[in-house]
Amino acid sequence: MAQHFDFLIIGAGISGIGAACHLRQRFADSSLAILEAMDGFGGTWWTHRYPGARSDSDLFTYGYGFKPWKGSAIASADEIRGYLSEVIDENGLAPLIRYGHQVRAARWSSEDQRWTLEVTRTGSDEVLTFTTSFLWICAGYYDHGQGYTPEWPTLKDFKGQVVHPQHWPENLDYKGKRVVVIGSGATAATLIPNLADDAGHVTMLQRSPTFFLPAHEHPLVPLLKPLNLPDAWYHEIMRRAFVARTDEIVQTAKQHPEAMRAFLLGEIRPHLPEGFDVDKHFNPRYRPWQQRIAVVPEGDFFKAIREGQASVVTDTIERFDAKGIQLTSGEHLDADIIVTATGFNLKLFGGIPFSVDGAPVDLRERITYRGVMIEGLPNMAFTQGYFRASWTLRSDLVCDWVCRLIAHMREQGHNVVQPTVPSADADMQRLSWMEADNFNAGYVVRAQAAMYGQGDRHPWKHGMEHAEERNILPAASLQDEALAYR
């Protein structure tokens, strides 16, 4: 027996929980369920449990616009889950979330005007069927089941322990041990100071450097705190301050990349020991903001280097052996534990195969409508956040847009909406989802071939900049010839 819901959301991470709040608030009489593959909520913050796991965005913009954040700007995974737990309670979402429900396939029927989802239960062979009039994919962008590790044929020769941060063993004993963390992104920079206190020594091995920015308390905090403002006011002021700061960094990085490079290197120099080769280890080949700038709260990562608990090696791996890693330079890194902080495998729309009226949909051949829907897929929206700015700034905008679309359909008596390229746009160029020049982080580049595309003009472009989209999406007309209603 199929269970039917007016709305079905896939994923109970920050996007799915936010989407559910918006739907509950706007369409309280409609039925809604959230299907979540894992056994708890939080998505990223459920999966990542390595020591010190935390945001590198401020929570005033990473948190929802509708739920004030009261803590310090950077938050731990536990604090973020605590915040999401309050949101679930305050919005009565707990009974709507079906944990251990992995969506395996989504089929649209034009005759029935609904999606049918094939769902399996964790740890059982049971297959369930759900149907919905509107499907909202909030499955994030990477595979929660398997982190990315490059092909290293000799890794098996290493006799110590190998750990991926996405699958951190609960009781990993690293006390007094030599730990090598491979990778140089935000995860490595978060892990290293948190391992350093107990480990014998931690080495960060990187092929090439990353931009980091030591972060301190925002100067507004000591001014606002004594005023005891209502939470919502405090949140809004801080949110605007962080939005303005991100805008400024992004614009300056784009217009004056070398000045921004000099600024970022200048910010980290005072945190490092005298004579440290900043150019070799912390001056990336790419331009600032072609990848996310990793924030280092109070410079904790650099403190571990300064105090000799951690060190950085910029080199390439020749091979692994029983005792550690042989580097191309001839140096050998002895290790008891190797942590592969080498990133994610991108997984589009939770890996779900789609079909429309029996015909399989190859997403690589489709383009996106505003980065919110997909050409030819009826009654389906998805949430994809920003990479440079906080993810949730975009997910909030998407929520408003989707709710506006649903309200519009109800007012006009439409049951179905399907993005369709009008004949006037037949000459449109089909471009890749992300131009490499725009954002070239490894996980994005690796995934490029599997992604949907975008057009060369609105509304077929995928917005990546909050400064533009916060004006475009709220004002976008729904009487658009690219939206075919039935």
Ligand X SMILES: Cc1cc2nc3c(=O)[nH]c(=O)nc-3n(C[C@H](O)[C@H](O)[C@H](O)COP(=O)(O)OP(=O)(O)OC[C@H]3O[C@@H](n4cnc5c(N)ncnc54)[C@H](O)[C@@H]3O)c2cc1C
Applying CB under 6 A, the residues found at the interface with ligand X are 10-16, 35-38, 43-44, 48, 53, 55-57, 62, 102-103, 138-140, 144, 187, 350-352, 383, 385, 390-391
CB under 8 Å to 277, separation ≥6 — which residues? none
Nearest to 206 by CA among 307, 69, 343: 343
Question: Distance between CA atoms of 313 and 37, rounded to whole angstroms?
Answer: 38
For residue 334, the minimal CB distance to ligand X (Å) is 28
140: left (phi over 0), alpha (psi -120 to 50) or beta: left
The smaller minimum CB distance to ligand X, of residues 32 and 38, is found at 38
Picking from 267, 303, 311, 274, the residue whose alpha carbon sits closest to that of residue 288 is 267
For residue 459, the number of C-alpha atoms closer than 13 Å in the C-beta half-sphere is: 22
Smallest distance from the beta carbon of 275 to ligand X, in angstroms? 32
179 vs 389, beta carbon nearer ligand X: 389
Based on CB atoms, which residue is closest to ligand X, 184 or 390? 390
- For residue 185, the number of C-alpha atoms closer than 13 Å in the C-beta half-sphere is 16
Smaller CB separation from ligand X, 121 or 287: 121
Nearer to ligand X, 83 or 391 (CB): 391
Which CB sits closer to ligand X, 54 or 366? 54
* Residue 402 · residue 136 · CB < 8 Å: yes
Residue of 340, 372, 351 lying closest to 442 (CA atoms): 340
Supply the minimum distance, in Å, between the C-beta of residue 352 and ligand X. Answer: 5
- Give the residue with the Cβ less far from ligand X, 56 or 336: 56
d(CA 157, CA 172): 21
C-beta closer to ligand X: residue 37 or 338:
37
Whose tokens are 């705190």? That residue is: 225
DSSP 66: T
| Residue placing its CB nearer to ligand X in the complex, 176 or 351 | 351
Q: What is the nearest approach in angstroms of ligand X to the Cβ of residue 367?
A: 21
Closest CB to ligand X among 14 and 373? 14
Q: How far is the CB of 69 from ligand X (least distance, A)?
A: 13
Q: What's the min distance (Å) between Cβ of 379 and ligand X?
A: 18
Task: Give the nearer residue to ligand X in terms of CB position, either 144 or 461.
Answer: 144
Cα gap 312→277, rounded to integer Å: 10
Q: Phi and psi (nearest 5°) for 460?
A: -100, 10
Q: Considering the complex, state which of residue 182 and residue 421 has its C-beta at the smaller distance from ligand X.
A: 182
What DSSP character marks residue 378?
T
How far, in Å, CA of 365 to CA of 409, rounded?
A: 27
Q: Within 13 Å of residue 366, how many CA atoms lie on the same side as its CB? A: 21
Between the alpha carbon of residue 442 and those of residues 121, 264, 344, the distances in Å are: 32, 21, 9
Task: Quickly count: other Cβ atoms within 10 Å of residue 378's Cβ.
Answer: 25
Q: How far is the CB of 188 from ligand X (least distance, A)?
A: 11
How far apart CA 106 and CA 135 sit, in angstroms, is 9
Query: Measured between alpha carbons, how far is residue 176 from residues 86, 179, 260 in Å?
Result: 38, 9, 39
Shortest separation between residue 437's beta carbon and ligand X, angstroms: 21
- DSSP string covering 235-285, please? HHHHHHHHHHHHHHHHHHHHH-HHHHHHHHHHHHGGGS-TT--HHHHH--S
In angstroms, give the least distance from the CB of 135 to ligand X: 12
SS3 107: strand
**Shortest distance in whole angstroms from residue 405 CB to ligand X:** 19
Distance of closest approach, residue 434 Cβ to ligand X, in angstroms: 15
CA distance 348 to 141: 6
Residue 104 to residue 107: CA distance in whole angstroms: 10
Shortest Cβ distance from residue 23 to ligand X (Å)?
A: 15
